[in-house]
Structure 1
Amino acid sequence: MARQKYGIKNRYEIRLADEKAYLFVEYLLSTGETIEWIVKELIDTAIKVYDCDSNGLRTHYSQNWRMVIESMQELRLTMKGEKPNYDNALRWLSNYLAPTLKKIWIMDQTFGKNELMSRIQQAELKEKDQEELAKLTTTIKELLIQEETQTTTSSSVTVTQEEVEQLLAQFLFN
């Protein structure tokens, strides 16, 4: 009803880890219920909505919420995960991390410390992050130089910058 009247879209996100994830999969496989039904039940169990009286005290379980849960039979789940990429990392940084980093930076400036940069320098990148950085920072020209150097090293011939640029032009325009 809210979607039709106000254009409101609900997003429910459920993350399960360790034992809860195991129990979820076990329940899914043993009952034969649809994943949509199980997720609906998880949401209903996790979120309790009550009606309140004029004093703000809970009176009873909300019938409106019950209607929302019951209408979730149309629930469509998307489980297609997005591979992390540079743009997603920047969006996450802007939306979630940047305010905290700014606060620490201001505190560093105020107290004459350098906590933020020292922690960034101490941070260890995961292998997948290092691979992504290598991909992002390696240009086609560098790849061609590297490939051509490897090819010509075995035959003891030196590749000139002009030859690399010609190879690049051929690669891009042929």
Structure 2
Amino acid sequence: MGKFESRLAELGVTLPDAPAPAANYVPFHVVGDMVYVSGQVSMRDGTLVTGKLGDDMATEDGVEAAKLCAISLLAQVKAAAGGDLDRLAQVVKLTGFVNSTPGFGDQPKVINGASDFLVEALGDTGRHTRSAVSAASLPFGAAVEIEGIFQLA
């Protein structure tokens, strides 16, 4: 087990198998040393985390949903790196989509669930640029979806 997966284990996190795409696209694409990961929706134990922030879901629940997206992103990066997560050199950028009502304004707080987790798990390698935007709806009613750009060593 490498340093990143050891750190994840200390945090009580085991990476799942990289989720399969839900439609006609690839889960990630490697270009040189860059990995572009398709949007990962919030999943807990194989079950989709659904809800609309500002309606039937609290901000704290959205934060947890964003963390779950980050775990799936790391699973995809591990797959893209041939099973060796320690090849991850940098989390470059996240774009987070929050299923929320028109009046909900805490999208950045929700996506902090992913950002904070990545820094806690990966240290400086997890620091990244980011966007956090509202969406009127997400596929299958998912609460959060996050895509990412990563650099491999």
| Same structural fold, with TM-score higher than 0.5 when normalized by the shorter chain | no
Identify the structure with the greater strand proportion.
2
Identify the structure with the greater helix proportion.
1
Higher relative contact order (CA 8 A, sep 6+): 2
TM-score (norm 2): 0.25
Q: Which structure has the bigger radius of gyration?
A: 1
TM-score (norm 1): 0.23
